[in-house]
């Protein structure tokens, strides 16, 4: 066991954990932040995407210890002062979800995508969603929502 | 995952010392292959030495006629580096086609080539560009580095520091992706430079990345897609699985080589 400390959604977070603890386990089980989901647990589906030092990563494929000292942002930290993030708003507006299980990862991926590529077209969005799977196959509205959010955020 | 000791050294010297002390250590770079492997209990290292926090391994430097890339440099950094894009766009493209955006934010050059997955992309760039692999012990030519499926010339305790990619005159990488995993079913890297012509194939060979001498000779005489159009790679020794037979992949080698030459013309 060893103590791992990082900042999660702007607040200090630390716990005494086994080195083999995954970042997603740390977030869900130690911090009780269950908005980050585990879908496939094999780095395919992207339901577990969070940001570490501003970059989207799969938290099921990273040890918590690798995030020592890092700034972690999860879906719970996206809304500011009670206002939904523009990407969250766009997902609601365009019904970018069906069952909603993949939604946290989709939104975290979309926020990272818009940061990296403010000018988006449909083809780019679809290509960039390679690492996120919606098993309801609700991609059409997810793509619409991301395009609308990127317009809104320009 | 089985239990292990975890260390996150800040310097290369500390990493070497920790490797020397451990019983059965494994180096963790970005972890995009190692962590899934550990999760499946396919490996049981005594110690995981995380080199992801060693700043001296994370750099891109263009100097003279080559780009030097630190072993712990992430794929996303290589894909978007102005230096790599300017001097070696084929290499930037290749890095940008690995896995998905989240994987590219974690995965590293050194991790990819040390693992030498037979369907990984970077081995094709190293072999296709006559790259030099600098380790804590020596310099290894790409031709000597990749020794078989998941096998390299690296010895115990040896850490990759950086890879030198000389600027090509012409180069391109074309990859036929597995639509689910985005690993290469077949990927072909072609280049022309001071080293002559190189054609390196990943995804196809049972022993990992390989060169196609016949295509290299034909392209040296005439750099055109037609020069390789009729050169067939024998299906013997080519991977065969549920995604494609050996014959299918062998055929893809010629198709991807043609496309790569066309893209690099």
What CATH number is attached to the domain comprising A139?
1.10.150.120
Report pLDDT for B67: 98
Is A111 touching B (CB cutoff 8 A)? Answer: no
Asked if A65 and B50 come within 8 Å (Cβ–Cβ), the reply is yes
Domain span holding position A55: 2-76
* B241/A85 Cα distance (integer angstroms): 45
| CA dist list (Å): B30 to A6, A54, B74, B122 | 18, 16, 8, 14
- Cα separation, B181 vs B121, whole angstroms: 13
Q: Say if CB B71 and CB B30 are below 8 A apart.
A: no
Residues A55-104: tens digit of each pLDDT: 999 999 999 999 999 999 999 999 998 899 999 999 999 999 999 999 99
Q: A52 has which bridge partners?
A: A55, A72
Report the pLDDT averaged over residues A114-135: 96
Predicted pLDDT of residue B75: 98
Tell me the C-alpha to C-alpha distance, in Å, between residue B19 and each of B2, B4, B22, B110, B111.
19, 14, 5, 16, 16
Partners of B50 on chain A (C-beta within 8 Å) are 63, 65-66
Number of domain units in chain A: 2
Q: How many CA atoms lie within 13 A of B59 on its CB side?
A: 12
Residue A93 and residue A141 in one domain: yes
A52 and A105 share one domain: no
Coil vs helix vs strand at B25 = strand
DSSP structure string for B166-235: EPPSEEEEEEEE-TTT--EEEEEEEEEETTEEEEEEESSBTTS-EE-HHHHHHHHH--SHHHHHT----S
- What confidence tens digit (pLDDT) does each residue in B27-49 have? 999 999 999 999 999 999 999 99
Q: Quick one: which of A4, A54, A72 has its CA closest to B76?
A: A54
- The per-residue pLDDT for A125 is 98
One domain, residues A72 and A90: no
Per-residue confidence (pLDDT) for residue A122, from 0 to 100: 98
Is the pLDDT reported for residue B265 higher than 80? no
CA distance B66 to B193: 11
Is the Cβ of A63 closer than 8 Å to some Cβ of chain B?
yes
Which among B5, B50, B105 is the nearest to A56, CB-wise?
A: B105
Residue of B nearest to A105 (CA): B102
Nearest beta carbon to residue B32 from set A43, A113, A128: A43
CA atoms within 13 A on the CB side of B58: 18
User: Is A92 found in the same domain as A58?
Assistant: no
User: Which residue among B35, B99, B182 places its CB closest to the CB of A62?
Assistant: B35
Quickly count: other Cβ atoms within 10 Å of residue B47's Cβ: 19
Q: Is the pLDDT of residue A120 over 90?
A: yes
pLDDT value for B180? 80
Kindly report, residue by residue over B118-157, the tens digit of the pLDDT. Answer: 999 999 999 999 999 999 999 999 999 999 999 999 999 9
CA distances from B256 to B85, B116, B171, B175, B222 (A): 22, 21, 13, 7, 17
Q: pLDDT-derived band of residue B80, with 50, 70 and 90 as boundaries?
A: very high
Percent of chain A predicted with pLDDT > 70: 100
Q: Which residues on B lie below 8 Å from A131 (Cβ)?
A: 99-103
Q: From its phi and psi, is residue A141 left (phi > 0), alpha (psi between -120 and 50) or beta?
A: alpha
B111: nearest Cα among B63, B78, B64, B144 = B78
Asked if B123 contacts B208 with a C-beta cutoff of 8 angstroms, the reply is yes
CB-based contact (8 Å) between B97 and chain A?
Answer: no
Asked, for residue A136, whether it belongs to a domain, the answer is yes
Confidence of residue B240 (pLDDT cuts 50, 70, 90): very high
Q: Which residues contact B17 (CB under 8 A, 6 or more apart)?
A: B9
Q: Does B102 touch chain A (CB under 8 A)?
A: yes
Residue B181 predicted with pLDDT over 90: no
Separation between Cα atoms, residue B104 and residue B99, nearest integer Å: 7
What local confidence, expressed as pLDDT, does residue B31 receive? Answer: 97
The answer as to whether A68 is a domain residue is: yes
List CB contacts (< 8 A) between A49 and chain B: 102
Q: Are residues A67 and A96 in the same domain?
A: no
A65 touches chain B (CB under 8 A): yes
User: What backbone phi and psi angles, to 5 degrees, belong to B210?
Assistant: -150, 160
What residues of chain B lie within 8 A of the CB of A20, using their CB? 1-4, 6, 38
At B220 the pLDDT is: 98
| β-strand pairing of A71-73 with A2-8 | parallel
Residue A131 falls within a domain, yes or no?
yes
Does the distance separating the beta carbons of B103 and A20 come in below 8 Å? no
Q: How confident is the model at residue B106 (pLDDT cuts 50, 70, 90)?
A: very high
**What is the reported pLDDT for B149?**
94
pTM of the model: 0.96
Closest CA to A54 of A44, A36, A67, A65: A67
- For chain B, list the domains and their CATH numbers: 1-49 (3.30.43.10), 170-263 (3.30.390.50)
- Contact (CB<8Å) A46/B102: yes
pLDDT digits (tens, 9 = 90+) for B183-229: 899 999 999 999 999 999 999 999 999 999 999 999 999 999 999 99
* Whether residue A62 is found in the same domain as residue A95: no
């Amino acid at each position: 066991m060893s103590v791992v400390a990082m900042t999660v959604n702007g607040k200090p977070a630390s716990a005494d954990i086994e080195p083999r603890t995954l970042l997603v386990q740390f977030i869900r089980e130690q911090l009780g932040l269950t908005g980050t989901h585990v879908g496939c647990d094999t780095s395919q589906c992207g339901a577990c995407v969070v940001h570490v030092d501003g970059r989207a990563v799969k938290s099921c494929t990273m040890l918590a210890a690798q995030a020592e000292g890092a700034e972690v942002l999860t879906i719970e930290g996206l809304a500011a002062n009670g206002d939904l993030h523009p990407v969250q708003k766009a997902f609601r507006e365009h019904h970018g979800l069906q069952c909603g299980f993949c939604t946290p990862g989709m939104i975290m991926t979309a926020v990272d995508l818009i940061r990296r590529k403010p000018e988006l077209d449909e083809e780019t969005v679809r290509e960039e969603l390679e690492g996120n799977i919606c098993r309801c196959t609700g991609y059409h509205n997810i793509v619409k929502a991301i395009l609308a959010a990127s317009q809104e955020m320009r | 995952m089985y239990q292990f000791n975890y260390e996150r050294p800040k310097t290369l010297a500390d990493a070497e010392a920790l490797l020397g002390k451990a019983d059965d250590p494994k180096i963790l770079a970005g972890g995009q292959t190692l962590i899934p492997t550990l999760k499946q209990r396919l490996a049981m290292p005594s110690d995981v030495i995380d080199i992801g926090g060693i700043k001296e391994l994370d750099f891109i430097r263009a100097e003279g006629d080559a780009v030097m890339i630190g072993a712990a440099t992430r794929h996303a950094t290589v894909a978007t580096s102005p230096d790599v894009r300017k001097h070696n766009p084929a290499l930037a493209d290749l890095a940008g086609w690995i896995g998905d955006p989240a994987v590219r934010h974690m995965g590293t050059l050194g991790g990819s080539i040390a693992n030498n997955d037979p369907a990984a992309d970077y081995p094709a760039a190293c072999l296709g560009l006559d790259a030099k692999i600098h380790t804590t012990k020596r310099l290894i030519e790409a031709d000597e580095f990749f020794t078989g499926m998941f096998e390299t010339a690296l010895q115990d305790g040896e850490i990759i520091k950086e890879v030198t990619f000389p600027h090509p005159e012409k180069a391109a990488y074309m990859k036929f992706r597995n639509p689910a995993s985005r690993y290469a079913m077949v990927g072909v890297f072609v280049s022309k430079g001071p080293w002559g012509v190189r054609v390196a194939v990943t995804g196809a060979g049972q022993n990992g990345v390989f060169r196609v001498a016949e295509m290299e000779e034909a392209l040296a005489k005439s750099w055109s897609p037609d020069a390789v159009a009729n050169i067939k790679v024998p299906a013997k020794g080519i991977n065969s699985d549920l995604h494609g037979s050996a014959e299918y992949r062998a055929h893809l080698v010629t198709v991807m080589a043609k496309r790569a030459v066309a893209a690099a013309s």
